[in-house]
Amino acid sequence: MSKLEPATREWLKDLGFGVRSDAVWHEALTHGSIGETRDYQRLEFLGDRVLGLAISEWLYSSTNGAEGKLAQRLNALVSKQACAAIAREIGLPDHVRLGRQARDDGAHDSDNVLGDVMEALLGAGFLDNGFDATRDVVRRLWAEAVEGHAGRAKHPKSALQEWAAGNQRRPPEYEVIDRTGPDHAAKFTVRVSVHKVGAVEATSSSKRDAEAEAARLFMEKFG
């Protein structure tokens, strides 16, 4: 039976997924370059439809837009680029299972790969948790995108990613350097670093929040 790495299991739970079947999540995170019998492609096909329905329902219930406007918003929100942006914000590149050559070729930061794996995770969520629970995850992860960026601050990890690219720096690297407390009250300390710029640490009750706070503090110090 396929086994998930403990850090990956914890990351999935932090995102709001219930992990019952290791095998389906293992498959969702496996790229074809690994050479295993099953990779993420079938789950990507399923997850694409799950995401489309979740976002369609959300737009229909929250706006009064005409069909054309709804379709335009839907296409933007479920695009490969949108899925890849969400994937980067939640730290998905750290958990994709890639062959060495594919990783060396930059597949871990490819919009196509990250977008596909993001959809595969939603497919796995549908199979393991059901539609309602997976829709709830979509609503959390896509909230900023659906509500729009007007008058809102950019997500700290996105801002740092863009700052690094705009200043010809390597992408920021996030590392959990400490975890304390029991599972129900855990504290994560994350260090974010940009090569030849510096590093900043932050602590929070989830890895995701610690990464966001570290990115915010990094931008305050170096941005």
Active-site residues, by number, are 48, 119
Tell me which DSSP letter residue 149 carries.
S
Amino acid identity at 32: G
Q: How far apart are CA 128 and CA 53, in angstroms?
A: 17
Residues whose CB is less than 8 angstroms from the CB of residue 17 and which lie 6 or more positions away in sequence, other chains included: 25, 121, 124, 125, 128, 129, 133, 134, 137
**What are the contacts of 95-100 at 24+ separation with CB within 8 A?**
95/5, 95/7, 95/8, 95/11, 95/29, 96/29, 96/31, 97/26, 97/29, 97/30, 97/31, 97/34, 98/31, 98/33, 98/34, 99/31, 99/33, 99/34, 99/35
